[in-house]
Amino acid sequence: MEYRRLGRTGVKVSEIGFGAWGIGKGWWGETDDTLSVRVLVRALELGVTFIDTAYAYGNGHSERLIARAFRQAGRRVFVATKVPLKSAEWPPKPGVPAREAFPADWIIKHTEQSLGNLEADCLDLQQLHIWRDEWIDEPEWQEAVQKLKQQGKIRFFGISIIDHQPETALRLVRSGLADTAQVIYNIFDQSPVELLFPLCQKLDIGVIARVPLDEGGLTGSLTPQMTFPQGSFQTSYFRGDRLRETCGRVDRLKPLLRGEIPTIAQLALKFCLSHPAVSTVIPGMRRPEHVEANCAASGGKPLSPDLLSTLKSHAWARNFYQ
């Protein structure tokens, strides 16, 4: 496992992190908690030192499983979690103030709950689960974050950017109020490269690249005929012709595979890691073989300039979250 600096935090984290949404129950069909803990422990064994979770992943269930894994492994690693949005609509419409989306008492309450779930005295990284740059001038959320830092309850603060909208966090990055920015970045969505990544590099902001495997689309394991568990997130994400179109675009990537890059998933992860702005990439992992395959993408030969140039042509502007 290779390690990278998480921006100005100065903390070295594994370049392959653990995205813990999938173990939180409710979104991805039935999960086995015992298996989830085993998967987390295996990730720690293979050198993963960055885990991303959120209170919203099962109302703290994902966080509690992480705490169980730490007890079983006998050690802790860097954990990033998130304050859930208070207002019901996701994402909040323009004009909804931060005092409604993330009131100060809400930020403090959920930080306390996450501390309890993770059995921790201090959160390594607390994030707002969504962000709009129009909130930058509101003092209430800033005061809550500052209070939590002064109390030693959070070390660092960051935000998770609205799906496919990296431009909505540029003011915050410029302000210096956030230590990290979490954003969708993968072969299909390369939009952060235009403005967000250069700005983060200039200001030394840590970048957490989420959805590197396009919610499963870039694992290379999906077929147009497959079905997903009833009510699972992927049932909605790949509804209609979306699955067929995704599989077609993945098929166009397969001729790019070669000896040192045997799978679409490894190609996708190495693509993310090829950008120097990226501190860590956080694929979801629900089985030990997922952990082993994803961790294998760390290190080794980087993608060649020619291959990276070819992959630029596979960018695909769309929003399956709507």
Supply the pLDDT for residue 232.
85
Whether residue 268 lies inside any domain: the answer is: yes
- Tell me which DSSP letter residue 39 carries: H
Q: Is the pLDDT of residue 28 over 80?
A: no
The pLDDT tens digits for 61-83 are 999 999 999 999 999 999 999 99
As a whole number of angstroms, the distance between CA 210 and CA 227 comes to 24
Judged against a pLDDT cut of 70, whether residue 29 lies above it is answered with: no
Which of 119, 99, 107 has the alpha carbon at shortest distance from 147? 107
Take residue 25 and report the two structure tokens written for it: 């129950």
Residue 321 within any structural domain of the chain:
no
pLDDT tens by residue, 301-319 = 899 999 999 999 999 999 9
Mean pLDDT of 118-130: 98
Mean pLDDT of the chain: 96
H or E, element range at 140: helix 139-150
Total domains, the chain: 1
Q: What is the residue-wise DSSP string for 280-316?
A: EE--B--SHHHHHHHHTTSSSSPPPHHHHHHHHTT--
On whether the CB atoms of residues 14 and 49 are closer than 8 A, the answer is yes
Whether 220 contacts 246, CB under 8 Å? no
What's the CATH code of the domain at 40?
A: 3.20.20.100
Q: Compute the distance between CA of residue 297 and CA of residue 276 in angstroms, rounded to an integer.
A: 16
User: 170: buried, middle or exposed (CB in 10 Å: 19+, 13-18, 0-12)?
Assistant: middle
Report yes or no on 148 lying in a domain: yes
Over the stretch 178-234, which tens digit does the pLDDT of each residue have?
999 999 999 999 999 999 999 999 999 999 999 999 999 999 999 999 999 888 889
CA dist., res. 215 & res. 212, Å (int): 8
pLDDT at 27: 66
Q: Which residue has the tokens 């949005």?
A: 85
| Rounded Cα distance, 314 and 249, in Å | 8
Distance, in Å, from the CA atom of 40 to the CA atom of 60, rounded to the nearest integer, reads: 16
**For 234-256, how does the pLDDT look when each residue is reduced to its tens digit (9 = 90+)?**
999 999 999 999 999 999 999 99
Hey, what are 212's tokens? Answer: 């590197």
152 vs 64, 116, 122, 165, CA distance in Å? 21, 15, 6, 32
Phi, psi of 238 (to 5 degrees): -105, 30
- How many angstroms separate the CA atoms of 140 and 107, rounded? 10
**239 assigned to some structural domain:** yes
Kindly state the average pLDDT of the residues 265-285.
97
How far apart CA 111 and CA 116 sit, in angstroms, is: 9
Q: Give me 142's structure tokens.
A: 């800033």
Instruction: Classify burial at 309, counting beta carbons within 10 Å of its beta carbon; exposed 0-12, middle 13-18, buried 19 or more.
Output: exposed
Helix (H, G, I), strand (E, B) or coil at 20: coil
Q: Is residue 238 part of a domain?
A: yes
CA distance 188 to 313: 9
Question: What local confidence, expressed as pLDDT, does residue 314 receive?
Answer: 98
Whether residue 318 lies inside any domain: the answer is no
**The pLDDT of residue 212:** 98
Model confidence, pTM: 0.97
* Per-residue model confidence (pLDDT) at position 131: 97
Query: What range does the domain containing 151 cover?
Result: 3-312
The rounded distance, in Å, linking the Cα atoms of 187 and 190 is: 6
What pLDDT shows up at residue 205?
98
Residue 291 lies in a domain: yes
The CA-CA-CA angle for residues 322, 159, 25, to 5°, reads 60
Task: Specify if 117 maps to a domain.
Answer: yes
Question: pLDDT of 140-154, one tens digit each?
Answer: 999 999 999 999 999
Give the mean model confidence (pLDDT) for residues 15-33. Answer: 85
Task: Determine the average pLDDT of the residues in 17-37.
Answer: 86
Q: How many whole angstroms separate alpha carbon 297 and alpha carbon 16?
A: 8
The pLDDT assigned to 106 comes to 98
